[in-house]
A and B are shown apart, each in its own frame.
Chain A
């Protein structure tokens, strides 16, 4: 059993992940208090406020992160909030912010420059986050496509963090730590974080301390948020496959351990 070719395991995983897409099943999705808090805190923002939606993730984790940004944008646009997007990721961040935001904005008939703006990317997240405290324009003289901020009507009323009501950070890396330690701690802008599952356990500490008002952890977190906003989409559809593969992996762990204990038991018997 120890010698089983790993490719058989790969094949089992592939089957477990494909089946639910061919035979979809509707699964009830329970809501954790952390996800509920995300929804509630966004709901509590006055309609029409200016908010940041931050695309701090690489294209490698779109499966987990894009459902979060998409749903957040829908949630904000539904509340007629003005959305400002930016990214601290030099690989794909600004492009994804552009594509995703445009797509969702079209659903809601929002106008670029008036209802939403994509600031794009600048190097050095600590400097970017610190610098925007005094002046967003000094760090981002233009938006992502090179239009000066002064030509964008929305940015007339947005000068620095004082004009930002909320930060919706979606991250697959440690940039969320700096949004907490720099922007939230020094400028008091309320924020929540949507993160890949890998980062979620750490961020429970920031939720407990109230530095994050809520937390979305991985695809399940995204599914919960989609459910709460009332627009089930990719993440909700993914839950079936997620369930099957988890059960498969648990079965594999159990199988591996049973084999291990049998071998150990035999060895012990032989010794006696």
Chain B
């Protein structure tokens, strides 16, 4: 450690201890440090503004051909007019410009960037998506063929012409996310899918889940088909929070599940060949958390609603609001304590690890 470095560390330690000494009581050394501190803080800004504003942003670009920058330059200088009583109103012009531009950015950014997203995220349902299978089939898959029982041409389009239905599929990706659709797992029985017939076809899909379902968690499953070249898939069966959608789910082994659905092609679809898609989402009933969030946001907004007296239902909501607010402020308090303590730790870290450590270089 060089002499200069030791001097620097001792200087830093001196001002640190000088300011801490105020804890014991006010004293001249503290006052010296405090006044130097106030001056340095002001002086720092002079260098900063001179270099980054006056030179970098104003003077050099003006020399470089952006002559029109003399306008903001003058506006900036006019700020100093406030030190002369008679002309102080002139500084308002500059101030008004700063306030005008800032306000212009503010209105839109506050409403667009804060209010909209925060509102949007509060509109949550009672279940939350925890995991989702990737679309396992990509583009190069076989599909589901629906015939009208006559057009053998249709059959010939893509598949073995003895089968009126052909399924399916080598999943192209199944590496990420859970649940994972298992390779080669989606299938149907070989029965005919004839939209004029009454036979239905059993669609099956298997998926695996790396983690066991936790409390309040469940799967939602969707079979979809997509006409070749069409972007939007059509749902043919969907299990949701509220219903099974005719899909049955059985556990087949450790962590693998089989989803089955009896598809009646007479229901809806046109004759043609389709891509078959299958997705599974792992969801969690988040009733409690959702309720806390929605009630909390609304109660807080109502607490700060001043146009009606807080009586009746409004009063109850506001009362709930204040309890929520107290919990939040408690969290704030805990965190603030943590923050202040950290700052002290930073100084002690310096004193112990650098200053006291430097003793060995001197003594």
Residue-wise interface mask of B (112-138) relative to A, using a CB-CB cutoff of 8 A (1 in contact, 0 not): 111011101100000000000000000
Bound: A13/B116 CA distance, A: 45
Contact call A209/B120, Cβ cutoff below 8 A: yes
User: What's the least CB distance linking B86 to chain A, in Å?
Assistant: 27
* Partner among A120, A142, A178, A196 whose Cβ is within 8 Å of the Cβ of B109: A178
Q: Does B110 contact A (CB under 8 A)?
A: yes
Contact call B113/A218, Cβ cutoff below 8 A: no
In the complex with contacts A64-B343, A121-B52, A127-B102 CB distance below 8 A: yes
In the complex with contacts A184-B113, A186-B113, A249-B328 CB distance below 8 A: no
Bound: A200/B341 CA distance, A: 15
In the complex with contacts A180-B114, A201-B332, A209-B120, A64-B52 CB distance below 8 A: no
Contact call A219/B345, Cβ cutoff below 8 A: yes
Which residues 50-94 in A have Cβ within 8 Å of B in the complex?
A: 60-64, 90-92, 94
Bound: A268/B53 CA distance, A: 66
Q: Secondary structure of the B side of the interface? A: helix
For B98, give the chain A residue with the smallest CB separation: A124
In the complex with contacts A18-B348, A146-B51, A185-B338 CB distance below 8 A: no
In the complex with contacts A13-B344, A186-B113, A242-B48 CB distance below 8 A: no
Q: Does B139 contact A (CB under 8 A)?
A: no
* Partner among B98, B109, B349 whose Cβ is within 8 Å of the Cβ of A234: B349
Inter-chain contacts of A196 with B (CB < 8 A): 339, 342
Inter-chain contacts of B353 with A (CB < 8 A): 21
Residue-wise interface mask of B (28-69) relative to A, using a CB-CB cutoff of 8 A (1 in contact, 0 not): 000000000000010011001101110111001100000000
Contact call B339/A64, Cβ cutoff below 8 A: yes
Bound: A62/B344 CA distance, A: 11
Contact call A124/B102, Cβ cutoff below 8 A: yes
* Partner among B57, B109, B343 whose Cβ is within 8 Å of the Cβ of A126: B109
Q: Does B4 contact A (CB under 8 A)?
A: no
Contact call A201/B328, Cβ cutoff below 8 A: yes
The contact size tier of chain A is: 35 or more
Bound: A63/B349 CA distance, A: 9
Bound: A192/B239 CA distance, A: 35
Contact call B121/A63, Cβ cutoff below 8 A: no
Contact call A218/B342, Cβ cutoff below 8 A: yes
Residue-wise interface mask of A (91-122) relative to B, using a CB-CB cutoff of 8 A (1 in contact, 0 not): 11010000000000000000000000000111
Residue-wise interface mask of A (225-260) relative to B, using a CB-CB cutoff of 8 A (1 in contact, 0 not): 000000000100110011001100100000000000
Q: Does B362 contact A (CB under 8 A)?
A: no
For B76, give the chain A residue with the smallest CB separation: A123
For A182, give the chain B residue with the smallest CB separation: B109
In the complex with contacts A18-B348, A90-B45, A92-B44, A127-B342 CB distance below 8 A: no
Q: Secondary structure of the A side of the interface? A: helix
Q: Does B335 contact A (CB under 8 A)?
A: yes
Contact call B52/A120, Cβ cutoff below 8 A: yes
Contact call B56/A219, Cβ cutoff below 8 A: no
User: What's the least CB distance linking B348 to chain A, in Å?
Assistant: 5
User: What's the least CB distance linking A171 to chain B, in Å?
Assistant: 13
Which residues 138-180 in A have Cβ within 8 Å of B in the complex?
A: 140-142, 144, 146, 177-178, 180
* Partner among B45, B48, B293, B341 whose Cβ is within 8 Å of the Cβ of A17: B341
Contact call B48/A18, Cβ cutoff below 8 A: no
* Partner among A94, A126, A142, A180 whose Cβ is within 8 Å of the Cβ of B60: A142
Residue-wise interface mask of A (184-200) relative to B, using a CB-CB cutoff of 8 A (1 in contact, 0 not): 11100000000011101
Inter-chain contacts of A17 with B (CB < 8 A): 341, 344-345, 348
Contact call B61/A141, Cβ cutoff below 8 A: yes
User: What's the least CB distance linking A5 to chain B, in Å?
Assistant: 11
Inter-chain contacts of A94 with B (CB < 8 A): 48, 52
* Partner among B101, B109, B332, B345 whose Cβ is within 8 Å of the Cβ of A186: B109
Q: Does B331 contact A (CB under 8 A)?
A: yes
Contact call A242/B113, Cβ cutoff below 8 A: no
Contact call A141/B57, Cβ cutoff below 8 A: yes
Contact call A197/B338, Cβ cutoff below 8 A: yes
8 A-B pairs with CB atoms under 8 Å apart are A21-B349, A61-B343, A94-B52, A123-B49, A124-B98, A180-B113, A219-B342, A242-B345
Please list the residues of chain B having a beta carbon within 8 angstroms of any beta carbon in chain A.
23-24, 41, 44-45, 48-49, 51-53, 55-57, 60-61, 98, 101-102, 105-106, 109-110, 112-114, 116-118, 120-121, 293, 328, 331-332, 335-339, 341-349, 352-353
